[in-house]
Chain A
Amino acid sequence: MTHQISANVQETREMTINMGPQHPSTHGVLRLEVVLNGEVVSRVHPHIGYLHRCFEKHAEAMDDYSKVIPYTDRIDYVSAMNQEHGYVIAVEKLLQLEVPERVEYVRVILAELQRIASHLLGIGTFGLDLGAFTPFLYCFIEREKILTIFEKISGARLLYNYICVGGLMRDVPDSFKPETADFVKTFRPKIKELNDLLSYNKIFIDRTANIGILPAEVALNYAASGPMLRGSGVSWDLRKNDPYSIYDRFEFDIPVGSGEVGTVGDCWDRYMVRVREMEQSLVIIEQALEQMPDEGNVMEAVPKRIRMKEGEVYVRTETPRGELGYYIISDKSPSPFRVKVRAPSFVNLSILPAISRGALLSDLVAIVGSIDIVLGEVDR
């Protein structure tokens, strides 16, 4: 039996709905103005700025380059160590400062531990968005272990203010090395557990494969970076392609999206790049622990007062979310003339309208989750 539907009944009007700023799966205070045709997304307009905390103004107002570091922590509060690391490298480049070996190794180990912690949170909440609650709890068990290590060295769980210009706030305790080695050993089997639990789960694959496909050339034109770009099959990692600190001393792979369960550049690929990156971070940590000198004064190169010359520098580092750039212009005064943060989430989020056209509304949640934004970084 066929139904006769007259043409004017079929006519639908587009509907605009708001997602956020209070929404459980926008990862913070993101507001999406979604124009829907039935259940299909026609257009998305992201509205940001709900967490604009005036970082750049604060950086100019501080009377010392070191006083900016606590604010850099708060830009991306999920990976504070990477933020500090990036800023400090930029200031050291302006000062033409050499830092001791031991400091470099500790910084790299901390940056990689932070990368794992950040990815665990990203993966956990991504699962949460798609209705998988248990992986979130498993991820947080492991994340707490990393936070315990951080707490022992810096005294804080989330925002550390530990890496300083020329060195570290204090030396790491003796327990740092064995505890980190222990974590590496116990964490490896957990990645397999996570794969069994979430990555190759049929429901999870159905929700993420072939959704939100980002082609490589679009990703490059939008200057996407991090897992967002690597998920599209572009082998691009600043730790390899433009090595900073001492990353050129380690051997590791760059995982890229291959379209294993769907198309190259879909949500699953972006997710899986993060899981594989955690393995590579473990590889780096192992090598760094082995090579790290046992002795050394971490305060040796710390300048008493920072005296700048005129100059400017753009330094980029690889954070868990992608390319973090610090553009610092210095004049002769003790405070920076201009600090601009090129935040990876800000750039990655701007692709959202391009890749969510034609997706279902429920898939929009998956796409936003796979970008892994931190609103502190988007809005600064």
Chain B
Amino acid sequence: MGLLDKKYHDSNIIIVSLESALNWARKSSLWYEQFGLACCAIEMMATAASHYDFDRFGIIPRSSPRQADVMIVAGTVTMKMASRIERLYEQMSEPRYVISMGSCSNSGGPYWEHGYHVLKGVDKVIPVDVYVPGCPPRPEALLEGFLTLQKKIENESIIESKPSDKITEEADRHETT
């Protein structure tokens, strides 16, 4: 004979914690920024197209970073592009996530040694949540990257901030002092 007994039985109400409701909503509608850099972008397009169909996970492309939840860094980031990536990341609203797709954005990939104009890993400029290896990764691999990100979001807390944001906050503090 609890307080809530027989109070909600004829309207559709489910009782969950606020945290899991938010996390459930966030992980089920990961809108990504439609932003291709290089070879991996073609595989990203293939993942979004008919055969692999991103939409069934609620993953929809957005053309503006301001509407996006997740940024897929799909391809080689060059020195000329690095500052632009940083700005795009800053334009995204919180909570924001980054998937680094392919060897190039993970670590420089095949260009790590002689690529004078290639950034050796996008994590040198923005925090990354999930790394998807491959050159280029298969669409299945990118999908797994998204499933991993969903798992990560499931375990998030609204009180504690995202670990990656903490890093940037610390870095900001470090810079100002």
Contact = CB atoms under 8 A, between A and B. Distances in A.
Interface of A: 21-24, 28-29, 49-54, 57-58, 61, 70-71, 74, 77-78, 121, 124-125, 136-138, 140-141, 143-144, 147, 157-159, 375-376
B37 A28 contact: yes
Interface in B18-44: 33-39, 41-43
Contact of B136 (A22, A53, A121, A159): A159
A155 B106 CA distance: 22
Given A49-B80, A158-B42, A54 B114 contact: yes
- Residue among A53, A58, A70 with the most chain B CB within 10 A? A53
A108 B75 CA distance: 29
A329 B113 CA distance: 23
Contacts of A23: 63
Given A50-B80, A138-B50, A141-B50, 9 more contacts: A29-B81, A51-B37, A53-B38, A54-B114, A54-B117, A61-B113, A137-B49, A157-B136, A158-B136
B51 interface: yes
Contacts of A143: 46
Interface of B: 33-39, 41-43, 45-46, 49-51, 61, 63, 65, 75-76, 78, 80-81, 84, 88, 110-111, 113-118, 135-136, 138
A22 B78 contact: no
Contacts of A21: 81, 84
B111 A58 contact: yes
Contact of B78 (A24, A50, A78, A147): A50
A22 B77 CA distance: 13
Nearest to B76: A53
B36 A53 contact: no
B50 A57 contact: no
Nearest to A148: B51
B43 A53 contact: no
B46 A22 contact: no
Given A70-B110, A77-B42, A159-B136, A51 B76 contact: yes
Contacts of B76: 51, 53
A121 B118 CA distance: 26
Given A50-B81, A53-B76, A54-B116, A159 B50 contact: no
